């Protein structure tokens, strides 16, 4: 009877899936407002400096607080430290060939900068190949709405919208071969376990692997 009654009298559009009244939608922001997620577009230099929303970094904050320290440390301070060390060693006569301090500093700074740039390119390429392949596949399910954390829908989505690559030794076993494979993947080949139990350590993914079975591959 209840099922027929619900079918004959469905909840109004303003009610949630369980018939509970949904909260009214937030009022539209006033013209020119740009605080919050419904920020109105702002043109010109003010938009560039402050960004479109207070929920995210503005452009200036992103460069100053995120990219700035990284680039300064990686590509300025480290080559400068290498140059200073090479100049000090050359001045002390430690370097072979009797190199001048200025020439030694220049060569050390250039060599360290080239190595850092190449290492950065290689690291980013490896990270892209490992991360993008199990996050951006065309055959992965995508959801338009959020699920409550640690709810049944949450766990179902972690399995259906993630993908594992060869884990361990390829047969679910452990040992040195498994550790080597997982290390090369950065343990991101356990993407389902990582999404199901984000608090686990990387080595615990091997032990948790048999539980969400059968898992997509």
pLDDT in tens, 197-214: 888 888 788 788 777 765
Q: Is the per-residue pLDDT at 120 higher than 90?
A: yes
First CA to last CA across the chain, in angstroms?
Answer: 44
Q: Where are the domains of the chain?
A: 59-133, 152-208
> According to the model, what pLDDT value does residue 2 have?
43
pLDDT in tens, 63-85: 888 899 999 999 999 999 999 99
Are the beta carbons of 140 and 193 closer than 8 angstroms?
no
Tell me the sheet residues that pair with 15: 21
* 131: Cβ contacts below 8 Å, ≥ 6 apart: 188
Radius of gyration of the chain (CA): 27
Q: What is the pTM of this model?
A: 0.56
pLDDT in tens, 129-180: 888 777 776 777 778 888 888 888 888 888 888 888 776 655 555 667 778 8
Give 190-204 as a DSSP string.
-HHHHHH-TTS-TTH
Does 133 or 35 have the greater pLDDT score? 133
Tell me the sheet residues that pair with 21: 15
Per-residue confidence band for 55, with pLDDT thresholds at 50, 70 and 90: low
């Amino acid at each position: 009877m209840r099922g027929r009654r619900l079918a004959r009298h469905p909840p109004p559009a303003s009610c949630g899936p369980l018939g509970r009244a949904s909260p009214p939608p937030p009022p539209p922001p006033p013209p020119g407002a740009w605080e919050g997620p419904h920020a109105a577009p702002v043109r010109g230099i003010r938009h560039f400096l402050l960004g479109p929303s207070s929920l995210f970094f503005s452009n200036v904050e992103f460069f100053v607080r995120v990219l700035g320290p990284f680039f300064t440390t990686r590509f300025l301070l480290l080559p400068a430290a290498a140059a200073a060390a090479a100049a000090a060693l050359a001045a002390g006569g430690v370097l072979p060939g009797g190199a001048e301090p200025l020439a030694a500093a220049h060569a050390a700074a250039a060599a360290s900068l080239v190595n850092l740039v190449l290492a950065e390119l290689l690291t980013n390429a490896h990270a892209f190949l490992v991360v993008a392949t199990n996050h951006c596949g065309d055959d992965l399910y995508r959801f338009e709405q959020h699920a409550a954390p640690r709810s049944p829908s949450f766990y179902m989505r972690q399995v259906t919208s993630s993908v594992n690559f060869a884990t361990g030794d390829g047969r679910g076993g452990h040992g040195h071969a498994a550790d080597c494979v997982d290390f090369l993947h950065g343990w991101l080949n356990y993407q389902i376990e990582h999404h199901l139990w984000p608090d686990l350590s990387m080595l615990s993914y091997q032990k948790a692997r048999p539980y969400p079975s059968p898992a997509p591959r």
